[in-house]
Amino acid sequence: MRIVSRVGALAAVALVLAACVAAPGASPDPSASPAPSAAAPATSAAPSASPAAKKVACPPLPLDPSTGALSASVELLAGLGVDAAPCFGTAKLQVTGYVPEPWGLGGTTAYTYSPTWLYGMFAGASLTAGRGQDAASIEVYAPPSLGSCDGTQLADACVLHPYMKRWVTVVGHYNDPAASTCMATPIDATVPPIPAADSELACLRHFVLESAAAFTATGPLPSVDPGLCPVEPITVDQLIEGTDEVGPQYGLGCLGGRTITFTAYVVPGVGLLSGMEQVTVEPRWLADALNTGVVLAESATAADDATGWLVARVPPDLSPAGDAACDGSAVDPDTCPFAPYVGGYVTVTGHYDDAESLTCREVPGPGGPLLDPAALVESCREQLVVTAVSGAQGPEPTATPPTTSTR
C-alpha cells in the first residue's frame, strides 16, 4: 500500500540502516555544527564579582569563523545553568533555538528592579530547544538598543518579535557590564533588602543578546527531476503521486523549505501503524513513525482507499493544549487543531525541511543506538509539517467515514 511508503518510511528506512554512534558531546540542537570545525576552549575572563570564581567543568565549543562566536546549544546552556557564566566568561556565544509564544506571567513582586531589561521576574524571554513545553530552555535578555523583551509579551520593538514561533540564531554573552548596576528595591519596609552583590551576581548569570537572525534548516536537497515536481495549485494528489514515483524524498527535493498551501479532506481516525516500537526517537511528533500526524486525502471519495492517504505532522504549539500533537489513530479535540474538521475539508499551510528536523535523534536504550543519526535527520526533513489549518469548502459532500485501517 502506498501508505507504507509515506508513513512507514521513517521507521522502515531507519531500522535497516547500520548502527552509528554519535560523537561524544554532540548536541541534537540545530545550532550544532553540521561539519567538523576547529574547537576553541571556552575560557573565562569575567570581572571580579563574576560567578566565574566557582570552578566548573567547561566543555570546549567549536568556533564559527563567520561570526567569531563559539557555537553552543540551548540544551548545553540549560544543563550548565548557573555554571554557564563562569564557564564562558564574556565570550561571544552563538545559539540556535525556538522562540515560543509567551504564556504570560502573572503574580506580583515585592521589589522594583533596575535595569528592568536585565533584572526582575518579568525581564527576558525564553529560547527553547524545541516546540514542546518540556523542551530545554534558557532565558535571554535584550538591551534597550535591541528593544527590551518583556517575558509576558514579545512587543513589536523586541528583537525576537519577528521570530515568534520560529527558529532563530542569536549571538550573545554572559557577564554583561550592566550587571554592576542591578538593584532590587523593596516596595516597603516589611520586605527584606537584597544585597547589592546578590543582585549583581544574578545579572551576571543572564545571557544578554547582541543580535538575532532567522534560522532555516540547511543542507543539500535530494535530486528530483523538475518535470516530476508539483505545480500550482498544489494538491494532495500531486504530493501522493510524486512520492509514489520518486520516494519519500519527493517533497523535500522539489520544494525544500518553501511554504505551500492546499485543500484536503481530513480522514477520520485511522490507525497508521501498529506494533511494538523498537526505538524511542525525539521529538516524537516529528520523528516517530507510529501513530503520529494527521491523515489527509484529496477528497472524501479518495479517503475510502488507504492508497489515497497523505500524512502531515502537526507540531505541539499548533495544538489547543500547547504541548500535544495530533495522533492519526485518535484525533483528540483537546489536543489537535484538526479535530473540528474531521470528515470535512481544510486549507492546510505547511512545508518540508522543518528547522526542528535537525534535532531529531534516537533516545539511547539499553542495547545502544540502532539508527543512523544522519538518516534519521534526513527522514525528519522529508516530513510535511503543518503551520496553519482552517476550514474550507470541498469539491463534494463528505462521505461515510472509511473503515480501512492498518491497525
156, pLDDT greater than 80: yes
User: What is the DSSP secondary structure assignment for residue 163, as one 8-state letter?
Assistant: G
- Which is more confident, 178 or 324? 178
The CA distances from residue 344 to 206, 227, 308, in Å, are 49, 32, 16
19, pLDDT greater than 50: no
Quickly state the pLDDT bin for 396 (edges 50, 70, 90): low
Give percent of the chain with pLDDT exceeding 90: 51
Copy the grid coordinates of residue 323.
Answer: 504541548
210, pLDDT greater than 50: yes
Quickly state the pLDDT bin for 183 (edges 50, 70, 90): very high
**Contact present, 99 and 185 (Cβ < 8 Å):** no
The CA distances from residue 126 to 95, 142, 216, 359, 388, in Å, are 13, 11, 19, 18, 23
325, pLDDT greater than 90: no
Q: How far apart are CA 324 and CA 321, in angstroms?
A: 6
- The pLDDT of residue 11 is 35
Average predicted confidence (pLDDT) for the chain: 80
- Which is more confident, 133 or 44? 133
> Grid coordinates 498544489 are at which residue?
234
Q: Are strands 137-141 and 125-128 parallel, antiparallel or unpaired?
A: antiparallel
Determine the average pLDDT of the residues in 338-355.
94
The CA distances from residue 103 to 22, 136, 180, 236, in Å, are 35, 16, 30, 35
Q: How far apart are CA 107 and CA 128, in angstroms?
A: 23
- The pLDDT of residue 277 is 58
254, pLDDT greater than 60: yes
Q: What is the pLDDT of residues 132-154, one digit of tens each?
A: 778 899 999 999 999 988 766 77
Q: How far apart are CA 359 and CA 355, in angstroms?
A: 8
**Contact present, 186 and 192 (Cβ < 8 Å):** yes
- Which is more confident, 104 or 171? 171
Judged on CB neighbours under 10 Å (0-12, 13-18, 19+), 197 is: exposed
The alpha helices in 40-173, defined as continuous H runs, are 74-80, 84-88
3-state secondary structure of 300: coil
Name 20's bridge partners. Answer: none
3-state secondary structure of 226: helix
The alpha helices in 164-272, defined as continuous H runs, are 196-204, 236-246, 250-255
Cα-based angle 216, 222, 228 (whole degrees, multiple of 5): 115
Quickly state the pLDDT bin for 80 (edges 50, 70, 90): very high
User: What is the DSSP secondary structure assignment for residue 368, as one 8-state letter?
Assistant: -
